[in-house]
Structure 1
Amino acid sequence: MSAVLDESSGLQKESVQHDTLMGFHVRFGHLAYDTIERIAKDPASGIAITSHERSRCTTCAEGKQTRADQPKKDTGAHAPVDRVGGVICSDLKGPITPRDRRGNRYLVNFVDHKTNYCRIFLAKTKDQAAKYFEDFLIYFEKRFECKVHVLRTDGGAEYNNVDEFCKKSGVARQKSEAKNQAANGKAERMHRTVMNMVRCMLFASELPLSFWGDAAEYAAYILNRSPTRANEGRKSPLEILTGRAPSLQDIVVFGSSCAVFVDTNKKNLQKRSQPGQIVGKSEETKGYR
C-alpha cells in the first residue's frame, strides 16, 4: 500500500509549499522559528512563509523542557573530524517504555562528526547496535562516496561485537572514557534533540506513544535537511554532503491525514483507498509511511 496526502488537510503537493511560520514549525517537528525562517530564505527549499507571527508553542513547552544545566562540550573532538566520515559517533538509548508499535525498545544513532548527518535505527535488543553499524557503514560510504575512518562510542557492552567488523573494514575504534559522557557528547546531544522532537510530534498528533519509533526516524529525516548552528554557515547536513540545499517540500505534519491506496486486483468493487495518517518518510524510499 502507498499513501498520498489528503487534499482536505490542505497539505496537497505544490511546487512551493505556503504556510505560516507556526504551521511550518509544526510540520518540521517543532524546529526553532529562526531555523525555519533561515530555511525559507533559500529558494531551493520549496517553502514560503505567509505570516512570520510568533506565538508560544505549548507543545514545545511540554516536550522540550529541560533543567537549567548546560551540556558539556564534546571533549572527543580530535582528529579526523574535519572530513566527511572521519569520525562517526554512536550511542544507544533505552530501554524506552512503552515498546514502539514494531516491538522496539532502543534507539541507536550514528552521527557524522563533520556534517552532523544522523541515521536512526530502532532495536529490540542492545546487541543489534553492532549489526546496525554494518548497515550504516555500507549506506553512508556508498551514498556519499566517502570512507569512514573512526567509530566512536561509549564503553557499553552493546558495542563489543563490532570490533571484529571494524578490523575487517579498516575502521578504527575509539571508546569514550568511563563516566565521561562529554567524550561522546555529539551522539548523546543528538539523542536529546531527536527525543525532544519525538515528544512534540506525539503530543501534537495525539497518536499513541507506541509511534515513538516512527517519530524518531522522521525527526532524523527532518534534521538532515535543516540548517544547524553546528555546521559552518549553518548549512544542513545534506547540503554539505551533496553540495546543494535539499528541498523541504515533502515535509508534512507528523500524523497528517492521508488516503492509503489499496490493491484492487482481487476484487473489482473493493474500495480504492482507506483513510490513514502519515508517520514519516524514509531516506531510502520516496513514499510516505
Structure 2
Amino acid sequence: MHRRLGHPSKDVLWQAQKHTEGFPPSIEFPKEDPICPGCTEGKMHNKAFLPSTLRATEPFELIHSDVKLFPIDSYHKYRYYILYYDDFTSNAWTVNLHNKSAAITATCQFLAMAKNQYGKQVKKWMSDAGGEYKSEAFDKMLKDEGIQILQSLPHTPQENGGAEQFNRTIMDKAEAMRHEVWLPESWWEFAVEHAVHLYNRTPVRRLKWCTPYEMLNGKAPSIKHLRIFGCGAYVFVPKDVRQNTLSRKSELMVYLRVAPGGHGVRFM
C-alpha cells in the first residue's frame, strides 16, 4: 500500500486505513520503516515551509496558485503545470501547460469548474509576486471576476505556503514513483497527474486526518481502483484495432492512472 498510495509516511498510511474505503483491513505495519528505493531516490528533505497565516473558512474562498517549470519537455511536450490549491479543503488541481501564456485559459476553466460543479465563487487568489505566469492580462482576468489578488513578496515564496508546500509534496511523491519503476524523465507529466490523484485521497494532518477529497465532496474516497504507478498490465485490444485475426488480443502496457473523470484507466 505504501507504493500504491505514492510513498506516504507510515503515519499517513495508518490514517488512510481509517479514512478511506477499500483499504485492506488485515495489513499490519512494521515497527521500523523499511528502506524504500523510490523514497530514497525521489524525495527531497529541504527545510520545512512556515504555514500560511491566511486561512479560509469555506471551499474556494482562498486559492493558492503557482506555476512549476520543468527542465525538460514532457512526453506530450508540456513544460509547466499550473497549480490550484484550495486553502480550506487542501484539495488540489494541476493543469499541464505548453507555455506560460496558457495559464489564463486554464484558470478561466478552473473558475468555471468551481461555479458549475460546486456552486462556488473564488474570492481570494494568492500567488508569488515574482512567479512564472504573472501578467497584466492575468490580473485583469481575476479582477473582472471580482477576485481579490493577494501576493507574496518577491523572493519569499514561503508566504504562499500552501502552494509551496504542495509543490514539494507532489514532486516528492511523483519522483519517488517514477524513480522506483525507472520511467524516463519526460514522463513527469504522468507521475504528477497520478500524484495529485493520490494526494487528494490521502489523509492530511492539518485536516485532522481527513482527506482533501472528503472535505470537498462530503464523503470518504474509495481507493479500490488504485494500482502501483508504472506497474505492468495486459490490456485488451479491441477487435476493430487489431490488424487481422492473428493479431494479439492483449498487449503488455504500463499503468499510469485512472482516466480523468474516473471512467477507465490510462495505459501506455
What's the TM-score once normalised by structure 2's chain length? 0.89
Residue 282 to residue 51, structure 1, CA distance change in 2 (3 Å): same
Give the number of equivalent residue pairs: 260
Residue 42 to residue 72, structure 1, CA distance change in 2 (3 Å): closer
Three-state SS of the structure 1 residue aligned to 2:204 is coil
Cα shift at 1:138: 1.9
Does 1:193 find its partner at 2:179? no
1:41 maps to 18
1:284 maps to 261
Cα RMSD (Å): 1.9
Does 1:138 find its partner at 2:112? yes
- 1:238-276 per-position Cα deviation (integer Å, ceiling 9, x unaligned): 111111111111111001112233232265513332110
Q: Structure 2 counterpart of 1:248, which letter?
A: I
Q: Which runs of 5+ in 1 are unaligned?
A: 1-23
Three-state SS of the structure 2 residue aligned to 1:284 is helix
Q: Structure 2 counterpart of 1:281, which letter?
A: V
Cα shift at 1:72: 2.2
What's the TM-score once normalised by structure 1's chain length? 0.83
CA contact (8 A) 2:42 2:172 kept: yes
CA contact (8 A) 1:112 1:118 kept: yes
Q: 113, 133, 142: which is aligned to 1:166? A: 142
Cα shift at 1:230: 2.0
Cα shift at 1:182: 2.0
Paired-residue identity, %? 25
Moved over 6 A (4+): none
Residue 131 to residue 49, structure 1, CA distance change in 2 (3 Å): farther
Residue 72 to residue 246, structure 1, CA distance change in 2 (3 Å): same
1:177 maps to 153
- 1:150-186 per-position Cα deviation (integer Å, ceiling 9, x unaligned): 1211123623222232233332222222222122111
Q: Distance in 2 between matches of 1:43 and 1:167?
A: 38
Q: Structure 1 counterpart of 2:49, which letter?
A: P
Q: Distance in 2 between matches of 1:101 and 1:238?
A: 28
Cα shift at 1:38: 1.2
Q: Which runs of 5+ in 2 are unaligned?
A: none
Three-state SS of the structure 2 residue aligned to 1:259 is strand
Three-state SS of the structure 1 residue aligned to 2:85 is strand
1:56 maps to 35
Q: Distance in 2 between matches of 1:73 and 1:261?
A: 47
Does 1:128 find its partner at 2:102? yes
Cα shift at 1:197: 0.8
Three-state SS of the structure 1 residue aligned to 2:172 is helix
Q: Structure 2 counterpart of 1:287, which letter?
A: G
